[in-house]
Amino acid sequence: MAASRLYLDWNATAPLHPAAREAVLRALDLFGNPNSVHGEGRATRAAIEAARRQVAVLTGAEPAHVVFTSGATEAANMVLTPEFRMGRTPLSVSHLYVSAIEHPALREGGRFERDRVSEIPVTFDGVVDLAALEALLAAHDKATGLPMVAIMLANNETGILQPVQAAAQIVHAHGGIMVVDAVQAIGRIPLDINEIGADFLIVSSHKIGGPKGAGALVSRGEILMPKPLIHGGGQEKGHRSGTENSLAVIGFGAAAAAASDEFQSRNATVLALRDRLEAGMRQAAPDVIIHGSDQPRVPNSTFFTLPGLKAETGQIAFDLEGVALSAGSACSAGKLGESHVLVAMGRDPQLGALRISLGFATTDEDIDRALLAFTKIAGRRKLASVAA
């Protein structure tokens, strides 16, 4: 019998959490339209509102400030817009400043024209350059409209935590709007929208063990809101029209509740597993480069380079060993290429890098298997270099 495969690509997507699976199965019987006033509709609405509360708890927000979307990409496109309202008053945002290491959903600039998007550089250590951000905002022409800044809380490749709280203070001092992509941070580090100073958070269901097809834009309040991206029947209090994807939303809520309940034990276990993994990697291949290992990171991510091994070759080699990991971000429809994160950090993009990311179901035995595969691949790399 063939050995089961080992899944170590949790930053791309997490397997469905058992609690989310159970919630979705129960929700299959909630067939009423959540916007109908009859009993069947009210039952579905109640389940969606329970999910809203569960996501709010995990993000430190008020339930009324959680707007469900089809995913993080839609939430990004919703909030990255020049058109806002402060209550009923139109508000213009004239320029978007986005960090060089952002996910493509934000780097593309949403609804901003390309000439109204500027990049915030990062340091060699992979951390947003706050002095550069200060300089960019100091040069911003406020007469044209407000600045908006988008910075991720945890990088999806390196796992490095970004100084979003300090960035938010700079942004607000210049009268700007702070958007934080918390997709890779939610459930992995303490998260409170008010404490970090974000005006908006972007979160995703399937990164924490919920179903694909659900995400949310979380705001600090309801006065400042973007112009809706999707118009129609005025669902989600007019912020996002379209009948809610009740199955995915309810599963999202269950996954968020599980992440809240299991937070301490889950992340302590994952951190210990990652530390053992990285120690074993260094022992098997002393020349391995673990990017960001000297920076604060989410506890589950390892982004590494084996000199002499191309990322694409390494990904295939691990796959043949039955180990699923990724060559950087899984955000470009399966395409492989240079890591824009390594480029932004000033590293040689030809090095390439592989990402291992762990999750709530990862075990000690999984780490043993991963290290066995790593040792074999690193050894073959050395043999190949000697033969050459």
- 60 exposure class (CB count in 10 Å sphere: 0-12, 13-18, 19+): middle
**What is the pLDDT averaged over residues 96-125?**
96
Distance CA 168, CA 27 (A): 39
Q: Over the chain, what is the mean pLDDT?
A: 94
Higher pLDDT, 115 or 333: 115
Give the Cα separation of 186 and 291 in Å (integer): 21
Distances (CA, A) of 342 to 61, 85, 157, 159, 277: 33, 37, 9, 13, 22
| Cα–Cα distance measured from residue 292 to residue 278, given in angstroms and rounded to the nearest whole number | 12
Is the CB of residue 354 less than 8 Å from the CB of residue 311? Answer: yes
| Nearest CA among 9, 11, 8 for reference residue 372 | 8
* pLDDT at residue 270 is higher than 50: yes
CB-CB neighbours of 323 under 10 Å: 22
SS3 label, residue 335 = coil
The beta strands (E) that lie in the chain are given as 6-7, 66-69, 83-86, 89-99, 117-120, 146-152, 177-181, 200-204, 215-219, 224-226, 289-290, 301-305, 323-324, 354-357
pLDDT band at 232 (very low <50, low <70, confident <90, very high): very high
Q: Do residues 148 and 97 touch, judged by C-beta distance below 8 A? A: yes
**Please, where are the H alpha helices in 223-288?**
246-261, 263-284
d(CA 375, CA 333): 30
Fold for the domain defined by 21-261: Aspartate Aminotransferase; domain 2 (3.40.640)
Report which of 294, 343, 259, 350 is spatially closest to residue 20, judged by C-alpha positions: 259
pLDDT at residue 1 greater than cutoff 70: no
Beta bridge partners of 154: 161
pLDDT by residue (tens digit) across 162-216? 999 999 999 999 999 999 999 999 999 999 999 999 999 999 999 999 999 999 9
Domain 263-376 coded CATH 3.90.1150.10:
yes
* Residues with catalytic roles: 331
Listed by start position, the domains of the chain span 21-261, 263-376
pLDDT for 381 equals 82
Report whether 357 contacts 15 (CB < 8 A).
Answer: no
Quote the pLDDT of residue 62.
98
Prediction pTM value = 0.94
C-beta separation of 356 from 8 below 8 A: yes
The tens digit of pLDDT for each residue in 72-89 reads 999 999 999 999 999 999
Distance CA(186)–CA(317), nearest Å, equals 31
pLDDT at 260 > cutoff 60: yes
Same fold, 21-261 and 263-376: no
Q: How far is residue 302 CA from its own chain's centroid?
A: 15
* CA–CA gap between residue 252 and residue 283 (Å, rounded): 39
Query: CA-based diameter of the chain, in Å?
Result: 74
How deeply is 305 buried, as exposed, middle or buried, from its count of CB atoms within 10 A (0-12, 13-18, 19+)? buried
Pair 246, 56: CB distance under 8 Å: no
Distance between CA atoms of 32 and 103, rounded to whole angstroms? Answer: 36
> Residue 3's pLDDT band (boundaries 50, 70, 90)?
low
Cα separation, 367 vs 181, in Å, equals: 29
What pLDDT is attached to residue 384? 59
Q: For position 383, what pLDDT does the model report? A: 61
